[in-house]
């Protein structure tokens, strides 16, 4: 599962691919912080910030953990510094397909969460924790519940029905009434 955050701009939906980090050299290349490597392929159109320009990713080097990229229109170190900290976004329809059993964060947001027949709540977002990704589930009158994205905690995900079945006993939560 890939824990990408999403945002909307009118009808267009965007997935965060990372943020513009520190410059790399003088030619406009920069490090990407919080990078989602699957979204940073040469030829991908990246939007800088929610209302920013759409720029073509021209070059990528470095590693998946610390990618260094250059995009059209960012020609020098000063240009990078003026954009530093800006989100790099990819249109949902331009995102690559994920393997079976993996989902983009926006696909999971809003799904109903159940433990068998008992309704637990609704997925608000997917969080990246140091050890794994976790669903943040809003529960009526009970606050949030974090559900780690591990097979012991999640029995099944039915994207057609927009339903996720979890094991509250594994999570150490008392069973809820149906």
Q: 3-state DSSP call for residue 83?
A: helix
- Domains of the chain, earliest start first: 6-94 (2.40.30.60), 109-166 (2.30.30.240)
Residue 26: which pLDDT band, with cuts at 50, 70 and 90? very high
Q: Are 29 and 75 in contact (CB under 8 A)?
A: no
Alpha-carbon gap, residue 128 to 148, rounded angstroms: 10
Dump pLDDT digits (tens) for 53-67. Answer: 889 999 999 999 999
Spatial CA neighbour of 60 closest among 44, 77, 81: 44
pLDDT in tens, 32-43: 999 999 999 999
pLDDT at 2: 40
Q: How far apart are CA 153 and CA 163, in angstroms?
A: 14
Q: What are the tens digits of pLDDT across the range 132-161? A: 899 999 998 888 999 999 999 999 999 999
Tell me: pLDDT of 177 over 80.
Answer: no
pLDDT at 13: 81
pLDDT of 10 higher than 80: no
Strand partners, 12: 9
Please check the confidence at residue 110 and state whether its pLDDT lies above 50: yes
Tokens for 56, please give them: 């073509």
């Amino acid at each position: 599962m890939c824990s990408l955050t999403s945002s909307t701009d009118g009808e267009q939906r965007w997935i965060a691919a990372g943020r513009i980090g520190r410059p790399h050299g003088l030619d406009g290349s920069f490090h990407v912080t919080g990078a989602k490597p699957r979204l940073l392929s040469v030829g991908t159109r990246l939007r800088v910030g929610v209302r920013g320009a759409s720029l073509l990713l021209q070059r990528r080097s470095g590693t998946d953990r610390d990618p260094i990229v250059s995009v059209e229109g960012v020609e020098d170190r000063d240009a990078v510094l003026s954009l530093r900290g800006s989100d790099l976004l990819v249109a949902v329809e331009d995102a690559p397909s994920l393997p079976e059993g993996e989902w983009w964060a926006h696909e999971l947001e809003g799904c109903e969460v159940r433990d068998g027949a008992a309704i637990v709540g609704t997925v608000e977002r997917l969080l990246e924790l140091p050890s794994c990704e976790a669903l943040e589930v809003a529960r009526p009158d009970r606050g949030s519940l974090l559900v780690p994205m591990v097979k012991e905690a999640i029995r099944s995900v039915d994207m057609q029905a927009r339903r996720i079945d979890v094991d509250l006993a594994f999570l150490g939560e008392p069973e809820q009434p149906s």
